[in-house]
A and B are shown apart, each in its own frame.
Chain A
Amino acid sequence: MVPPVVVSPLIKTTRWSALLLGMIYGRQRFNYLKPIAEEERRIEEAEKAAREEQERIYKQLSEANADTILK
């Protein structure tokens, strides 16, 4: 087998510090995006309830209007 290569210290430090920086960046971005996503979900729920209400009213009205004796 080929003997393992001795890696220069510069490459080693840059690699592992890049890993560390990446972990920190990922964690911070996740913490930043999490409340925004929760807020969006909450707004979506509220709007969905309002929309369903509108659709229910519309359906009831259309059923009432379509109810004629000329069927």
Chain B
Amino acid sequence: MAQAAQKLVAKVPKLVGAAVTYTKPRLATFWYYARVELVPPTPSEIPKAIDSASGLIKSYQAGRLGQTTVKDALRNGLVATEVLMWFYIGECIGKGGIVGYNV
């Protein structure tokens, strides 16, 4: 029993090294994409966002809703769902747990 535990402890640095070599390139690709796609907006981009939002409202009022293709509608629906999911991730962070409130 003690020998098995010792052998396991001796294998831990090799396992850690293997995990590091496995995750390093994947982490690199993740950073490569995240640095462009997942960054928060800079303060200069916020007026542009407000402009796009008002542009959306105007195009809705101009009746362009009937002209969107199904493909476009599906794509926009998926993007909207993803944005909504960030709200739930924020809720998980705020309540300090993944499932349920640990009161």
Q: A12 to B32, alpha carbons, bound, how many Å? A: 17
Task: State which of B14-22, B63-71, B87-95 sits at the interface with chain A.
Answer: B87-95
B72 near A: Cβ within 8 Å? no
B73 near A: Cβ within 8 Å? no
Size class of the B contact interface (CB-based, 8 Å) = 20 to 34
Q: A68 to B103, alpha carbons, bound, how many Å? A: 51
Q: Please report the total number of A residues contacting B with Cβ < 8 Å.
A: 32
In the complex, the number of residue pairs spanning A and B with C-beta atoms less than 8 Å apart equals 101
The DSSP consensus for interface residues of chain A is: helix
B74 near A: Cβ within 8 Å? no
Q: Is the CB of B39 within 8 A of A8?
A: no
Residues of A participating in the B interface, judged by any CB pair closer than 8 Å: 1, 4-16, 18-30, 33-34, 36-38
- Considering the complex of A and B, which 5 residue pairs feature the smallest CB-CB distances, nearest first? A22-B90, A26-B94, A37-B103, A4-B36, A9-B45
